[in-house]
Amino acid sequence: AQSVTQLGSHVSVSEGALVLLRCNYSSSVPPYLFWYVQYPNQGLQLLLKYTTGATLVKGINGFEAEFKKSETSFHLTKPSAHMSDAAEYFCAVSSSNDYKLSFGAGTTVTVRA
């Protein structure tokens, strides 16, 4: 079984500052890892994914994440926060032939002007 732990339910950053959202996973098989963003009253939008290959993954809206197997982590970063980044972010894990996503509890990002 796979699981995900997101450290910090709320993160507040200043506009222009670094955004760092932490995600640790547990999986007995090679994981597939995803980050999603959810804006109020909307569904989830895929930011980026890691399946195999390059461990540094670039996504949309300037976000990127690095897969570190030794640390079982998949932290999400963005160098410079924008007001439009205020949303809830979810890390999720899956694996081959699993056919489901297991989500973390989510991290709400607030951006201060």
Partner 1 sequence: KAGVTQTPRYLIKTRGQQVTLSCSPISGHRSVSWYQQTPGQGLQFLFEYFSETQRNKGNFPGRFSGRQFSNSRSEMNVSTLELGDSALYLCASSLGGGDSNQPQHFGDGTRLSIL
Q: Which residues bind partner 1 (CB under 8 A)?
A: 32, 34, 36, 41-46, 49, 51-52, 90, 94-106
Q: Pairing state of beta strands 102-103 and 87-95?
A: antiparallel
Least spacing, CB of residue 41 vs partner 1, in Å: 7
* Of residues 34 and 81, the one with the C-beta less far from partner 1: 34
What one-character DSSP code corresponds to residue 39? -
State how far the Cα of 27 lies from the Cα of 36, in Å rounded to an integer: 19
Structure tokens at 68: 């570190």
Least spacing, CB of residue 3 vs partner 1, in Å: 12
Class of residue 88 by CB neighbours under 10 A (exposed 0-12, middle 13-18, buried 19+): middle
State how far the Cα of 65 lies from the Cα of 55, in Å rounded to an integer: 8
* Of residues 14 and 96, the one with the C-beta less far from partner 1: 96
Least spacing, CB of residue 49 vs partner 1, in Å: 5
* Of residues 36 and 67, the one with the C-beta less far from partner 1: 36
Least spacing, CB of residue 73 vs partner 1, in Å: 19
